[in-house]
């Protein structure tokens, strides 16, 4: 991609992708837990959903400024939690995204003001685990068969 367009494309196309992905993985009411394939995958690293949610929250709260926290499948095929700044995505970092949380202040300021932790706690209640599980199954069909 020509250098003069790279930042604009990354910021705008990344913003579209990141927000569509974020909203597609939300549902209210949401299922309480992931279906077994995804649950087993997450427990292989985090041991329990409580521990996973704690790790995801910690990472989401660590984002400095504007960005996202992501549950991804890393280059080794393992679950991982990463952050991206601004509208960067893990797609360009050899990672497969399963779930993201927008932690730009605009995502939570109207309801939670500057209390990102309250927003993340509420967001954890509306994750569409069936959809996230489908993201995981799409990965397994594409890369593991």
- CA 145 to CA 139: how far, in whole Å? 10
Identify whether the C-beta of residue 97 lies closer than 8 Å to the C-beta of residue 70: yes
Cα 20 → chain centroid? 12
The distance of closest approach from Cβ of residue 106 to Fe ion in the complex, given in angstroms and rounded to an integer, is 6
Nearest to 9 by CA among 83, 69, 81, 91: 91
Cβ-based nearer residue to Fe ion, 53 or 105: 105
The distance of closest approach from Cβ of residue 12 to Fe ion in the complex, given in angstroms and rounded to an integer, is 13
Count of positions on this chain that bind Fe ion (CB under 5 A): 3
Cβ-based nearer residue to Fe ion, 1 or 110: 110
Cβ-based nearer residue to Fe ion, 101 or 107: 107
Tell whether residue 80 is a contact of Fe ion (CB under 5 A).
no
User: Which residue lies nearest Fe ion, judged by its C-beta?
Assistant: 102
Q: List the interface residues with Fe ion, window 87-116 (CB under 5 A).
A: 102, 104, 107
The distance of closest approach from Cβ of residue 111 to Fe ion in the complex, given in angstroms and rounded to an integer, is 14
Question: What are the residues facing 71 on neighbouring strands?
Answer: 81, 99
User: How many other C-beta atoms can be found within 10 angstroms of the C-beta atom of residue 55?
Assistant: 18
The distance of closest approach from Cβ of residue 19 to Fe ion in the complex, given in angstroms and rounded to an integer, is 6
**Encoded tokens for 130:** 């069936």
Q: List the interface residues with Fe ion, window 7-26 (CB under 5 A).
A: none
- CA 145 to CA 127: how far, in whole Å? 27
The distance of closest approach from Cβ of residue 104 to Fe ion in the complex, given in angstroms and rounded to an integer, is 5
Which residue has 């050899």 as its token pair? 94
Task: Give contact residues for Fe ion (rule: CB under 5 A).
Answer: 102, 104, 107
């Amino acid at each position: 991609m020509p250098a003069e367009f790279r930042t604009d494309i990354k910021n705008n196309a990344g913003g579209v992708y990141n927000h569509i992905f974020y909203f597609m993985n939300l549902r209210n009411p949401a299922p309480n837990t992931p279906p077994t394939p995804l649950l087993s995958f997450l427990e292989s690293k985090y041991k329990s959903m409580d521990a996973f949610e704690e790790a995801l929250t910690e990472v989401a709260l660590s984002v400095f400024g504007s960005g996202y926290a992501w549950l991804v499948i890393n280059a080794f095929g393992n679950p991982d939690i990463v952050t991206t700044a601004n509208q960067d995505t893990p797609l360009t970092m050899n990672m497969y995204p399963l779930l993201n949380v927008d932690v730009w202040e605009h995502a939570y300021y109207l309801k939670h003001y500057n209390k990102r932790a309250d927003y993340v706690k509420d967001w954890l209640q509306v994750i569409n685990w069936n959809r996230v599980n489908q993201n995981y199954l799409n990965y397994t069909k594409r890369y593991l068969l």
